[in-house]
Amino acid sequence: MASLDTQQGIIENSKVTIGPCTYGYEYLQVFGAEGVSLTIGSFCSIAMKTTIFLGSNHRTDWITTFPFGHQMADELGGREIKGHPASNGDVVIGHDVWIGYGSTIVSGVTIGSGAVIAANAHVVKDVAPYEIVGGNPAKHIRYRFDEEIRELLLELRWWDLPISIIKELSQTLSSEPSVDLLKSLVASFRA
């Protein structure tokens, strides 16, 4: 449920931070890992059945991929074995990101602000700001806007404005961008 406040918590030993006005996080399935964090920016839209793996990677560089010490440790031994499950690092999701139904995001991935993750996408590498990706593995489909518009949107960082200003701009933010409009907004709020 969206909130005007930043949400913080711990899931399976992983620190989770969710920015203001992001919704759908209550549907997330997160597989945590010791010392790895998940950061989700403001104004993100997260569809149901989205899964984020901060850990849970099986070791493909060991003789076996079986997680001795993690599964059936009493029966099979191996409690002293460290390094399983493995992780490729933190997951960082920028601001104003739309994550489609059934998407999966693996550890070590950064998703730029304004990006769109298509339904059922499997994200295994970084996604640029305002990029649309889809598929398994997720691949570039297109950018939402041309480069000049993307740069101006990132300069504007509307999601960092005070809520009172965002409320006043809600109609403008819900329209197609133009270079002139964005330059005017940047001059008004970021000069």
Residue 160 DSSP label = G
Cβ–Cβ < 8 Å for 23, 46: yes
- Find the angle CA(36)-CA(42)-CA(48) to the nearest 5 degrees: 75
What are the pLDDT tens digits along the chain (191 aa)? 676 777 777 666 678 899 999 999 888 999 888 889 999 999 999 999 999 999 878 888 889 888 877 777 778 777 777 777 788 999 999 999 999 999 999 999 999 999 999 999 999 999 999 999 999 999 999 999 999 999 999 999 999 999 999 999 999 999 999 999 999 999 999 97
Q: Return the residue matching tokens 């059922």.
A: 120
Residues 174 and 105: their CA atoms lie apart, in Å, by: 27
- Per-residue model confidence (pLDDT) at position 1: 67
What's the predicted TM-score (pTM) here?
0.91
Annotated catalytic residue 58: yes
Domain ranges of the chain: 5-53+88-143, 144-190
Task: Tell me which of 58, 70, 84, 140 is the catalytic residue.
Answer: 58
- Per-residue model confidence (pLDDT) at position 147: 98
Fold of 5-53+88-143: UDP N-Acetylglucosamine Acyltransferase; domain 1 (2.160.10)
Residues 19 and 27: their CA atoms lie apart, in Å, by: 16
Which strands form 116-117's sheet, in the order they lie side by side?
Answer: 45-46, 98-99, 116-117, 131-134, 139-143
